[in-house]
Structure 1
Amino acid sequence: MIIQQQTQDLPAPTGLMRTTLYRPQQAGRFPAVIFYSEIFQQTAPIARTAALLAGHGFVVLVPEVFHELNPIGTVLAYDDAGKDKGNQDKWTKPLEAHDSDTQVLVDFVRQQAYCNGNVGAMGVCIGGHLAYRAALNPDIKAAFCLYATDIHSDTLPAKPGNQSFERMTDIQGEIHFIWGRQDPHVPADGRLKIYQALLTSGINYQWTEVNAQHAFMRDEGERYDPALAMIMYQQAVALFQRVLWQ
């Protein structure tokens, strides 16, 4: 499926949020997937993933996750300086601001004639956490969370009682968790904490662990695992096709 790309600057409660849309060129009404990036925002690997998803018949929105903390269009490099700035942004922006960003994205895409009204979420690293966080919103019907950081630790800034882990039972849609066993950012005890909570939560979830490091989906760098990445793309597409086309 041939796709098109456009940029949309959306007014959010905390400031203008640049969002890149990838969607099919052909006419029709398609489901939407909000794709949350790593701390580096929309790098080339993130853009390629968004295009891949869109080519399977989805409207993919890639917001600048730290738009209020950086000039519009900021992309951080995969180096120490970029990592330090991205982590600083992660510890600065409260989860409530991410929640309001998600609602802005949902409201926008539902107003578009090319969307069927169904919205899912997907993300990698901090974006995996944000996809999980988006699933707390009842408008999100499915979420695919890849090596989501900081859920188990509940350490991102938030108001009391509004941390992501403690709100797990608020999830109404279907959610998939993908983890790398060799990922130091979410060690075995952290994954176990999340899994044990899921067992008693009553939510609709799937759980997958693979032998991989953090960021194994990123097609730049030594941790990239192309074979595993292909499997994960297939699983994500299958989830969104099954749930969002209803």
Structure 2
Amino acid sequence: MLITKTYQDVPTKLDANGRPIRIFVIAPSLPNYPHAKFPGVVVFSEIYQVTGPVERFAGQIASQGYVVAIPSIYHEFEGPEAIPYDNEGTDRGNLYKIEKRVEAYDEDATLAVDLLTAHPNCNGRIAATGMCLGGHLAFRATFDPRVLASVCWFATDVHSATLGKGKQDDTLARVRNGDLTNNGELVMIFGKQDTHVPREGRDLVRKTLEDANVTVSFLEVQAQHAFIRDESSKGRWDAALTRSLFTYMLEVFERTVGRDLGPRVETTEAPRHVC
């Protein structure tokens, strides 16, 4: 499916400098069907904003029949341009990550979901995904009841609760409080060789989610951090594994937002099987 790429500059309330957030939009292009409706997906980037790998990742999702919104997460500090994959860019991105307030990250997510639900070609059924920092932001996006599923790729700082200014986020605390119980589906994907999220951290995230009865799938694969990044991954890109897990992500999206099953109805009756 062909795609189009545009963007919108959206006003924010929490940016003290009054800067808007630029949200890039990649959507299916069907010239003969201008009123076609598709589910929406918010794609959250790593600390480098919307780089080539992030845009390609989002474009692949859009080409499968989704309207995709990608927020430029560091609008408080600089423009929407991608931050280079070099030492200076890494230091800058990591600094911004802990200078930005957690509630400002949440506002960005809300604005991206708002944009999708108002998009003329979106049917209002929303999912989220993201990598690294973006994995954590996709996790938090699931607190919004409009987000029906999130697939989080090697989400950082969840286990340590160190996202945002003050390095004291409440992500797992909210999970323990029940904010994700019966509220969307979560998929956590980690590489076992990921030095950013050690085994103890992964175990903590998994236990917290399962203890809170969150609908979650937890995947641990033989890979390192950033293994889905097809550029400047420091030799960690695994194209074959990325392809397999991308297909899995699409299954989750198709099942949760690609089909409208109507309202959920709880039942205690066991399914009947006829032989």
Q: TM-score, normalised by structure 2?
A: 0.86
Q: Does 1:38 align with 2:20?
A: no
Point out which structure has higher relative CO (alpha carbons under 8 A, 6+ apart). 1
| Contact 2:162–2:168 (CA under 8 A) maintained in structure 1 | no
Find the counterpart in structure 1 of residue 26 from structure 2.
22
Q: Does 1:110 align with 2:117?
A: yes
Name stretches of at least 5 consecutive residues in structure 2 with no aligned partner.
Answer: 261-275
Find the counterpart in structure 2 of residue 204 from structure 1.
215
Cα displacement string for residues 173-225 of structure 1 (whole angstroms, at most 9, x for unaligned residues) = 00100000000000001001111112211111101000100000000131100
| Contact 1:141–1:243 (CA under 8 A) maintained in structure 2 | yes
Cα displacement string for residues 27-59 of structure 1 (whole angstroms, at most 9, x for unaligned residues) = 311111000000000111111001100000000
Say which SS state the counterpart of residue 20 (structure 2) adopts: strand
Name stretches of at least 5 consecutive residues in structure 1 with no aligned partner.
Answer: none
* Higher share in helix: 1
| Contact 1:96–1:158 (CA under 8 A) maintained in structure 2 | no
Query: Whole-Å Cα distance in 2 between the matches of residues 213 and 96 of structure 1?
Result: 30
| Structure 1 residues 64 and 209, CA gap change in structure 2 (3 angstroms) | same
Identity level (%): 38
Query: Whole-Å Cα distance in 1 between the matches of residues 5 and 228 of structure 2?
Result: 22
Say which SS state the counterpart of residue 56 (structure 1) adopts: coil
Structure 1 segments, 4+ long, off by >2 Å, are 157-162
| Contact 2:40–2:66 (CA under 8 A) maintained in structure 1 | yes
Q: Does 1:180 align with 2:188?
A: no
Query: Whole-Å Cα distance in 2 between the matches of residues 199 and 17 of structure 1?
Result: 35
How far apart are residue 156 of structure 1 and its match? Answer: 1.8
Task: Give the superposed CA RMSD.
Answer: 1.5
Of the three residues 71, 74, 77, the one matched with 1:69 is 77
* Higher share in strand: 1
Q: Does 1:53 align with 2:61?
A: yes
Cα displacement string for residues 48-94 of structure 1 (whole angstroms, at most 9, x for unaligned residues) = 001100000000111101111112x3211111101000000001111
Say which SS state the counterpart of residue 41 (structure 1) adopts: coil
How far apart are residue 160 of structure 1 and its match? Answer: 11
How far apart are residue 102 of structure 1 and its match? Answer: 1.2
How far apart are residue 159 of structure 1 and its match? Answer: 8.4
Equivalent positions of 1:146-225 (< 5 A) are 146-157=153-164, 163-168=170-175, 169-171=178-180, 172-220=183-231, 221=233, 222-225=235-238
Cα displacement string for residues 86-135 of structure 1 (whole angstroms, at most 9, x for unaligned residues) = 00000111111011111111122211220001111100000000000101
Find the counterpart in structure 1 of residue 271 from structure 2.
none
Q: Which amino acid aligns with 2:230?
A: D
Query: Whole-Å Cα distance in 2 between the matches of residues 199 and 39 of structure 1?
Result: 28
Q: Which amino acid aligns with 1:64?
A: S
Query: Whole-Å Cα distance in 2 between the matches of residues 11 and 65 of structure 1?
Result: 13
Query: Whole-Å Cα distance in 2 between the matches of residues 224 and 131 of structure 1?
Result: 21
Query: Whole-Å Cα distance in 2 between the matches of residues 112 and 156 of structure 1?
Result: 30
Q: Which amino acid aligns with 2:104?
A: A
Query: Whole-Å Cα distance in 2 between the matches of residues 83 and 159 of structure 1?
Result: 19
Of the three residues 237, 241, 244, the one matched with 1:231 is 244
Find the counterpart in structure 1 of residue 268 from structure 2.
none
How far apart are residue 162 of structure 1 and its match? Answer: 5.7
Find the counterpart in structure 1 of residue 7 from structure 2.
7
